[in-house]
Structure 1
Amino acid sequence: MGQVTIYLEESIEHKMVSAAESAHLSKSKWIAKLIQEKLANEWPQSVVEMAGTWEDFPDIEEIRTQQGQDAERENL
């Protein structure tokens, strides 16, 4: 297992300590969990479960009809 040293401003450290305590995790485990979440290649399960739950959400064609026309590109 690797070991990393980080330096935080005092105000950030206080916020991090509060967040770790709220999650009932050590500072090290809280930071490791945060890194795992940032590096994940999948949507969180809570987001996956929400897929398709908005019955009145417009489809892609309806969204595109509300877009304006693209401007002509300048030649380089």
Structure 2
Amino acid sequence: MGQVTIYLDAEHEKRLKRAAESAGIPVSRYVARLVEQNTRTQWPDNIRSLAGQWSDFPSAEELRAAQPDSPRETL
């Protein structure tokens, strides 16, 4: 596991420590969660499992038929 050093001014350090304490986890775990949440490249499994759960939601084809594609700008 890698280590990272960050520099914060006193106010941001206080806020970070309060937030970690409020979450009931160490500061390092709190920062690790922030990095994970903000650098994720896929939807979490609990979100991905929702795909197809709405039986009355229109298909992609139905959506495209109702709203024609926007004209493209030439480059």
TM-score, normalising length: structure 1: 0.62
Cα distance in 1 for residues equivalent to 2:19 and 2:25: 9
Cα distance in 1 for residues equivalent to 2:6 and 2:50: 36
Alignment-derived partner of residue 44 in structure 2: 44
Specify every segment of 5 or more residues in structure 2 that has no aligned partner in the other structure, as ranges.
none
Number of aligned residue pairs: give it.
74
Residues 1:57 and 2:57 aligned together: yes
Cα distance in 2 for residues equivalent to 1:48 and 1:60: 17
Structure 1 position 4, deviation (Å)? 2.4
Specify every segment of 5 or more residues in structure 1 that has no aligned partner in the other structure, as ranges.
none
* Shift in CA distance, 8/63, structure 1 to aligned 2, threshold 3 Å: farther
Alignment-derived partner of residue 23 in structure 1: 23
